[in-house]
Amino acid sequence: EIISKLFEHAGLKTSVDRVGRITDRLVGQMGDIEDCRVFKITGVRKLIEDKDSNKGITRGHATNIIYDKDAAGVSSFIRHRDLAIEEWKRGGLSPADVFDYLLKKGVFRPGLVFICPSCGLEFWRAIKSLAESTECEYCGHIFPTGPVLNDRGDWRFRLSGLFGRDDHQAGAIPVVLSLLQILRLHRHGNSFVYSTALKIRGTGIDCEVDLIALHSDLEFKPIVIIGECKTNYEIDRTDA
């Protein structure tokens, strides 16, 4: 409401975009903006984008992606070992710690991959949906679950909720990381207001803004930040 009134003062009307609602929901799922620090890790962003994460990925494969070692054997994870995503652990952060955190936050959910005895196709089932009988999601064949399980330990983990969307969470992660950086600058102040993905309309103006933040400088003068955020592309003059 504060941001809306501010733009009204300039003769502009604002409304919350669908993308803004997705971003707010993503922050809510993690807890708050500070709980989104895990997305600073390059390997975590790559894991969320990896095609296997939507089909069902093993824990070992997931932690390897988080470790993010290049062809020369250099890992991008090393620079994040001191990142505090929850209670600090002696010895620094590990890829396994990071994956456990993603599980706690519901970014991934565990399950098993079955091979249908009728059509021969693989499909994934979440733990909560396992029952005495399993139905193939492709051909509808129902078969007993018990004999297939045996002593299996090959759990597969799959993205859930907003993270399972095929639209890259509508670009929410770079917006959240930008807000996290703005919050760092704000530590000295006593107010911090933000909104994500607003449509702004007025005379000669019809655009969308990824984020707007209000905070104050060291002299408590108000600052308005209007931001454009991208995941993999550069911001060009048209965006500006």
Tell me if 91 sits within 8 A of 97, measured CB to CB.
Answer: no
Provide the percentage of residues in the chain whose pLDDT is more than 70. 92
| Bridge partner list, 157 | 57, 110
Query: What does pTM read for this prediction?
Result: 0.80
Instruction: Provide the pLDDT confidence category of residue 43 given band limits of 50, 70 and 90.
Output: very high
Question: 67 — phi, psi (to 5°)?
Answer: -65, -35
Which H helix or E strand runs over 49? helix 42-49
d(CA 215, CA 179): 12
Average pLDDT (209-233) is 83
Asked if pLDDT for residue 240 goes beyond 90, the answer is no
Helix, strand, coil distribution of the chain in percent, nearest 5:
40, 25, 35
d(CA 14, CA 34): 27
Asked if pLDDT for residue 145 goes beyond 80, the answer is yes
> pLDDT tens for residues 181-220?
888 776 655 567 888 888 999 999 898 898 898 877 778 7
Decide: residue 102, CB within 10 A, 0-12 exposed, 13-18 middle, 19+ buried. buried
Average pLDDT (142-154) is 75
> pLDDT tens for residues 45-92?
999 999 989 888 999 999 999 999 998 999 999 999 988 888 766 668
Question: 65 — phi, psi (to 5°)?
Answer: -65, -40
